[in-house]
Structure 1
Amino acid sequence: MPQCVVIADDLTGGNATGVLLKKMNYQAYTVMNTESMDLQALEDCDCVIYPTDSRGVAPEVAYERVYNICSLLKDDAVKVYSNRIDSTLRGNLGSETDAMLDCLGEDYIAIVAPCFPASGRIVVGGYMLVNGLPLHKTDIAIDPKTPVKVSEPAVLFQEQSKYKTASILMKDLMHGKHYLADMMKAHVAEGCRILVVDCVTQEDLDLIADATITSKLKIVAVDPGVFTATLSRKLITPTQKKEKNRILAVVGSVNPNTKAQMEELWLSQLIHNVFVKTRELLESKEQRSAEIQRVIHEILEVSHLNTVSTVTGDGIYPENRIDFQPYMEKYHCSMDDVTDKINSAFAEIAYGIFQAQPEYKGLYTSGGDVTVAVCKRFQTAGLSLSDEVLPLAAYGQFLTGPFAGIHIITKGGSQGERDAINRCITYLKEKLYI
C-alpha cells in the first residue's frame, strides 16, 4: 500500500503535487475513479493522489467526498496524509480538513502550511501574500466561482471548520524545531486541532516538518503540495532506495547580482559557506596551495553536518576586489592568464572535495569561466543537458570521466533575480531526493 495519501480538491492541483513527489523519486499515481480502482494495483506505488473535484461544491458535499475517499484509502502503512488545498486558499478548506480529521480519528491534528515559495505564495505574520500583495488585494478576491476576500488563512479555517484553530507565527519559528514542537503540543493540549503555520521559504517548510516529526503528533498536512513533499521526503523511503547526497556550490563571480543571490541563499537555507581569499591564489605557489587546502579542509571538516556547502570568492564584496595589473606585471602574463589561475584554483577546490567525499553528487557553478575550469579538472568531455531551471540556468550531468553522472547546474553570474541561486539549489535537492 502507498505510504503517502493525498486527497486533492481538484485534478490539476493533485497532479502538481504528484509531480513534486515524482521529482524526489517517489512512484506517484493519480486515481480518478474509485469504482474502477484496484487497490492491488497501488501496492507498488509510494504515493496515491485522489482528486475529489470539491473546490466549488457545497461544504457538506465536499465533506462527504473527502470523508468517503479517506475511509477507502486509510491504512496503517500510511505515513503521510495530505489534504491538498488551493495555493490561494479557494474552496472548502475547513469542511475538507474536518472530513479527514473525523475519518482518521481524534488523535490526528491538521498542520496547515499553505505557502508555495516558487509561486510567490507565502504566509508571514498570519497573512498570505501573493507576489508581495495581500491575498484579498489580488484577482482571487473577485474569482467568479470561489472568491477569497480574507488574507488570513487561520481566519478562513476558523470560519469554515468546526474545530478550534491556532496560529504559529514567524517569530515562533525562529527558536528552532524543539521549541516549535513544544508549541504544537501546547496548542493541542488546549483543544486545537488545526494549526496554521507561517512559512516563507523551503527552509521554513523543512523546519515545520522537522518540528512535526519531533512532536510525534499524528497529523494531516494541509497545503498546496510543497509541505506534503517535504514531509514525505523526511518520512518515506522511495521504492528506489535513496543514497545520502550532498551539494557543493562553487561561486567565483564578482558581479553585484551574485552577492545579492548568495546572501538570499544563505538566509533561505541552512548552508555552510567558506570564503576563498582570492588574493592568496595569486601571491605564490605556496600560498595558493595552502589556500586551496584550507578551503577543502574547512568544507570537509563539517560536511557530515551539511547537505549544502558553498565555496565563494571573497571578491563578491567590493573591498576584496583585486587589481590584476600588478600580477600581470609580476608574472609577465595577460589578464586572462591571471583569472585562469583563480578559476583553476576554484576547480581544484571542488575536485578535492568531491574526490575526498563521495556523497557529493550535486554541483552548482556560477560564471562561465569557473564552469569551464571545473569541467576540465573533473575530466568530463561535456554535459548531458536535461532542463532549463530558469532563464540562462541549465541543468545536466557530467558525460564522461571519473565523475560521470554528477548533477550540475550552471548559471551566469549576472543572470537571474535575487532568488535565482536559491531556486537552483532547491532544484538540485529535488533531483537528488534530498
Structure 2
Amino acid sequence: MKKREFLKLSIAAGAAGVSGLSTTFAQNKSKEPIKIGILHSLSGTMAISETSLKDTALMTVAQINAGGGVMGRQLEPVVVDPASNWPLFAEKARQLLSQDKVSAVFGCWTSVSRKSVLPVFEELNGLLYYPLQYEGEEMSRNVFYTGAAPNQQAIPAVEYLMSPEGGAAKRFFLLGTDYVYPRTTNKILRAFLHSKGVKDADIQEVYTPFGHADYQTIVASIKSFSQSGKTCVISTVNGDSNVPFYKELGNQALKATDVPVIAFSIGEEELRGIDTRPLVGNLAAWNYFMSIRSPENNKFKNAFAEWVKKNNLPGGNHRVTNDPMEATYVGMHMWKQAVEKAGTTDVDKVRTSMIGQQFSAPSGFTLEMDGNHHLHKPVMIGEVRADGQFNVVWRTKTTVRAQPWSPYIQGNQGKPDVVS
C-alpha cells in the first residue's frame, strides 16, 4: 500500500473513531439526570409550613422518575435549607443555579424570600416555580406563580365576609406578620374596602414579627374592637406564630359565631398541631382543601400517605395535604410537560412552552398557565372542623384568571397584562 493511501485510511479511521466517541458521549449525556432545586426552609420559624412542600416535591420527583422521568432522563433533586433566613435564600438560589446547574427551582414561601431570590433568577436567567398565594404587584419572566393572586383569594374572601351568607361584616381587623405580603395585601384590602364604603374607623391593622408568640393583648383588642359592630378578623399571620394565635382565641373564648377569623396563610398543616375544637367555624380562603372529593384528590392524598409511610416521615398517618402542596405538585408536573413539549431544558424554550399548559389538579379543576405566568385557579372558602379539616362553604363554579396588578392600587392601570 502506498504511503499516501495509508495516511488517508488512517485519518478516515481516526475520524470515524472520534465520531463514534462523540455519538456515544451525546447518548450518555442525554441519559444524565436532570437536576432540579428544592428551596424550602427546613428549620426556623417557617419550617412548620415549608417542610411539607419539600416532602411533596420529593414525592413528585419519585412519581415522575417511576414513570420514565423527563424525556427519558431521571430527575435528581438538590435540596437546600435556607433556614427561614431571607438573605440566605438568595445565597442558596445562586448556589443552585451557578454551582449545581439545576434546570429549575421549586421553592420559597414568604414573599420576602421570593423578593430576596428574584434578582438572582433574573440575573442568571433561572426558572423559579413559586407555590404560594401572594400579594401580587409583580410579574417576572423568570417566575411562574402557581399560588393565588389577590383576586383569587383575598378579594373574594372579603366579599364573602361582607355578604349576608358570610355574616355581613362591617368592621375589619387586619392582623398580619410584619413583612411585605401582609402589608401589601392589606393595602389592597383597605383600598377595596374603601371602594365599598367602609371607613378607616372600621378598619384596624396590627402586625407582629416572625416567631411572635404572645397574642393575649391582641386577642383582647379584637374583642374590644368588635363591640362597635359586626367584626371579622383577616389573618395574614405566617409560620409558627399561628399556633399561639389560635390557641389564644380558644383561651379567651372568642368564637367564630362572635368574630370569625379568615386566614390566608393557615391550612391543614398548621392546624395539625392545634386543638381545633374551640376554632370550629373559623375560615380559610384557598384554592384547594384536603377534604375535596375528586378522583384526582384521592390519588394525590393516597400517594402522599404512601410516601410518608414508605419514608417514615415525622407525623406518620397524621400528615395532611394542603393548598401550597397542591401548587407544588401542579407546578412540577406542568414543568415536566413544558420540557417535553420544548424537547429541551433550555430556560427560554421551556418558558415559552409553559404558556397554555394544562393539568387536572387535585382541586377537581383543570388548571391552565396564563401568559402572565399565573395559573387560572378556582377560589374556595373552608370552615374549620373539629378534626382540623375544612368544610368547603363557598367556591367559584369555574377557574378565575389571575390579576397580578390589583385594580384597587392607584397607578396599576396600563401595566402589562402578560410577561414579555
Normalised by the size of structure 1, how large is the TM-score?
0.29
More strand by share: 1
Q: Which has the higher contact order (CA 8 A, sep 6+)?
A: 2
Normalised by the size of structure 2, how large is the TM-score?
0.30
